[in-house]
Amino acid sequence: MGGYAEVVSQMEYDLAISIGVPPTRIIFNGPLKHPEDLEKAILAGSTVNLESLEEVEIVEALAQRLPEQNIAVGLRCNFEIDTSRISRFGFDVAGGELDRAFQRLTELSNCDVDGLHCHISTSARSTDSYARRTQKIIELTDYYFKDKQPRFIDIGGGFYGKMTDDLKSQFDGCIPNYQEYAAAVAPQLQSKYPGNSGPELIIEPGVAIVSDVLNFVAKVVGLKKVRSRQIALVVGSVHNVKPTGTDKNLSLRVYRDEENSAQRKLAGPVDIVGYTCMEHDCLYKDYSGEIGIGDYTVVENMGAYTVVFKPPFIRPNPPIISYDSIQDEYKLIRRRETSQNVFSTYIL
């Protein structure tokens, strides 16, 4: 749809290339870029945002080795937006690290800094924090680019995505929509760069784009009561749906086949638990509806940081099926893993 691929490792860079993204449409961020990978990405025309003075040294060496080559890089800035923690990413603005990086790169005759980047995740994800980071990055571009204009301004990701009402109700404060985020960012840039000739504004939404595109389906295979606790076992695990350890209950729907309606059932509250040997393996706490053997539980809003975070713990990964609502077609897009897939890199 015209977006870039934003990657934070060579593995992700390789993945973008293998699904057909041209190198010039890749933004390469992240704290660990090996010298050969960083050089290759710069020479291929990707947007590479440097993170550290070690990466500046790699670029210096490249520029000196290839004096005829024009090199352009972006710099990731680290400034305070959220006082609850000190981010480890990017060049510290207040401590002068960004200054040092800028100076060293602009001293090279064949190297340009062509944009500034930041990505700051905050728990509140508020529009106010996006207004403040936009303001700060405009101040920095004013200072570093003076009369010249950067090619891009990249304010990173960290936005809320679309979610069901019952998930929304578990967050404190307001959940801004896309338009509200845009209203916090765009007018500041519009007034700084009127018309259409300003730098390219880049955003890097991850969760906001993918969280509502994936559901997890698991069949109910066991029911039990242990003193005051009612339990339903499903062929799934908390590692499938909440591998990052959120304490929220993702939205859950239960589907029942007519044939199963006479089967054994429990009426809520029921804890829906998984196949691992861990006590904490609970996909959903206190489900209030009715649930029976053979039913299917569907966990929604689990598209971000789930598939890649699922460890090969206790069971291999499930298949992934895509649904095309226009054609009303289903397609297998990842095969069910087997034990052999899990063992394949071990030397037995």
Ligand X SMILES: Cc1ncc(COP(=O)(O)O)c(C=O)c1O
Give residues in contact with ligand X (CB under 6 A).
Answer: 6, 8, 29, 119, 121, 156-159, 204-208, 304
Nearer to ligand X, 55 or 204 (CB): 204
CB of 6 to ligand X, least distance (A): 6
Give the SS3 label for residue 77: strand
* Strand runs labelled E in 143-215: 152-154, 200-202
Strand pairing class (111-117; 152-154): parallel
Nearer to ligand X, 34 or 285 (CB): 34
Torsion of CA 8, 12, 18, 24, to 10 degrees: 0
CB 114 within 8 A of CB 151: yes
CB of 89 to ligand X, least distance (A): 7
Q: Which residue matches tokens 């710069």?
A: 42
CB of 159 to ligand X, least distance (A): 6
Q: How far is CA 150 from CA 69, 132, 142, 154, in A?
A: 20, 19, 9, 11
CB of 75 to ligand X, least distance (A): 13
User: Quick one: the chain helix, strand, coil %, rounded to 5?
Assistant: 30, 25, 45
Nearer to ligand X, 236 or 243 (CB): 243
CB of 206 to ligand X, least distance (A): 2
Torsion of CA 160, 161, 163, 166, to 10 degrees: -10
Nearer to ligand X, 125 or 265 (CB): 125
Nearer to ligand X, 30 or 198 (CB): 30
Q: Which residue matches tokens 């024009």?
A: 70
Nearer to ligand X, 29 or 47 (CB): 29
CB of 230 to ligand X, least distance (A): 35
